[in-house]
Structure 1
Amino acid sequence: MEFEGLGLEGQVALVTGGSRGIGRATTMRLARLGANVAVNYLKDEGAAEEVLKACAGLNVKALAVQADVSRVEDAERLVCRILEEFGRLDILVCNAGVWEGAAVDEMKEELWDRVLEINLKGTWTVCRAAVPAMKKRKSGRIVIVSSTAGQRGEAFVSNYAASKGGQISFMKSLASELASDAINVNAVAPGWVETEMCEGVFRDASYRKA
């Protein structure tokens, strides 16, 4: 199913974690709708280049930018690179994230911090960097990819659930804060999706059967 009347031709979209899974699918949909796209990735340059190749026949411009969104300076560099290349940023999809956990009494501080820094802090850093350009144009769309775990919790990944619940609260706050600048902020909360991040779960035959 295609979405008609969205008028994305000429607009510029940034998808963090855009080289795989939900991020890749989102990038490709935006490109098919006419948006120029920037694909953020952390390590897998090859996967990001594959997305660019897939966009090549869609009559849009595509750019891959490496950045660790948990770092403020990387987020700022990411957005600056996009503005240098395209001169604008209309759509931001905050998708970069990790899914790692443990029982609460066995979880190391490093694991708790890593998940919160990438999933929650990483959402803040990129929004912080992108919002000034959107305010200047008095127009923008921000979509945060959260999770049903952020709504109902999930055993053995309390860090992940906390990060995703935090994203939802952050989205609500940002939506109120930026409404007067005509910047729309929303979140989506997918359930289980068979992507590389969750491949271990989907290899479990008993889970698939359930």
Structure 2
Amino acid sequence: MISLQNKNVLITGGSRGIGKACVELFLNAGANVAFTFQSRKAEADKLISDYKGTSELKSYSVNLADSGEIEKVISNILKDFRRIDILVNNAGIWKEAAIDKMTIDQWNEMMNINLTSTYLITKLVVPEMKKNNFGRIINIASTAGQRGEAFHSHYAASKGGMISLTKSLASELGSFNITVNCVAPGWVITDMTTDSLADNEIYKKVLSDIPLNKIARPEEIAGPVLFLASDLASHITGEILNVNGGSVLCG
């Protein structure tokens, strides 16, 4: 049983999908959890209500495309929790666009939310991690960041950037006992993928590319995230942990 008693965790995009599964798993491991959401206040409130009386749990609304909002919310989180021991950069968007139809606004939105927010949030929490000589940073990347994805080149580029950022920070921060790793999911059953997977042809094609012949549930991604945050992974840094049923083997 992994225990994160007395550890403070920040999870971005924690009201649904992989982020919600991470919130629940980290709470069950005894951690205090702060999580962000953008617009799904009802879902955030329900999550807090469901886990009332456990560890400390708070939600914070933020638009991750706005650097000013990010700076303000991280300041508030640090005031409330005093320090962040574990950071899970999970929040992200996934949208389709052919390269010759993609607008600069679509490109910038993807980069700002998926990559720039990861940089900025990490930048803001690292000083306390350095001071405490301890930190665990887990970035949620994607198979797309490693092998590309047609009609989602902006998404793949943002996740590829996250992977390079992860490796660079692992080298930079290791001497402060801060590990930085990625979990790279493939297809996961979330509301972000529901519409695509509702198409039977797409669903069958997706399954055919996964040796385990199934699509991941959010909690199957959250488990490896918890592992990387725990003492079991204290000597792992700069790694990309693929959690995709073997699909990268087919790419």
Q: TM-score, normalised by structure 1?
A: 0.94
Matched with 2:28 is 32
The equivalent residue for 2:146 is 151
AA matched with 2:57: A
User: Which residue in the other structure is 1:123 paired with?
Assistant: 118
Instruction: Say which of 96, 101, 111 aligns to 1:101.
Output: 96
- Unaligned stretches of 5+ residues in structure 1: none
Match of 1:195 in 2: 190
Residue pair 1:70, 1:125 contacting (<8 A) in 2 also:
no
Q: Which residue of 1 aligns with 2:52?
A: 56
Identity %: 43
In the other structure, the counterpart of 1:47 is: 43
Deviation of residue 28 (structure 1)? 0.6
Q: Deviation at 1:207? A: 2.1
Retained in 2: the 8 A contact 1:69–1:123?
A: no
CA–CA distance in 2 between the matches of 1:182 and 1:74? 29
- After superposition, the C-alpha distances for 1:88-118 in whole angstroms (9 at most, x for unaligned) are 2111000110001211111111111110111
Secondary structure in structure 1 of the residue aligned to 2:192: helix
User: Matched residues in 2 for 1:112 and 1:72: separation?
Assistant: 17
Matched AA of 2:8: V
Aligned CA RMSD, in angstroms, stands at 1.2
Which residue identity does 2:192 align to in structure 1? Answer: M
Q: Whole-Å Cα distance in 1 between the matches of residues 129 and 50 of structure 2?
A: 28
Q: Which of 106, 111, 116 in structure 1 is aligned with 2:106? A: 111
How many aligned residue pairs are there? Answer: 205
8 A contact 1:69–1:126 mirrored in 2:
no
| In 1, Cα distance between equivalents of 2:18 and 2:112 | 20
Residue 14 of structure 1, aligned match among 10, 16, 34 = 10
Q: Which amino acid aligns with 2:51?
A: C
Deviating 4+ runs (over 6 angstroms): none
CA separation in 1, counterparts of 2:62 and 2:96? 23
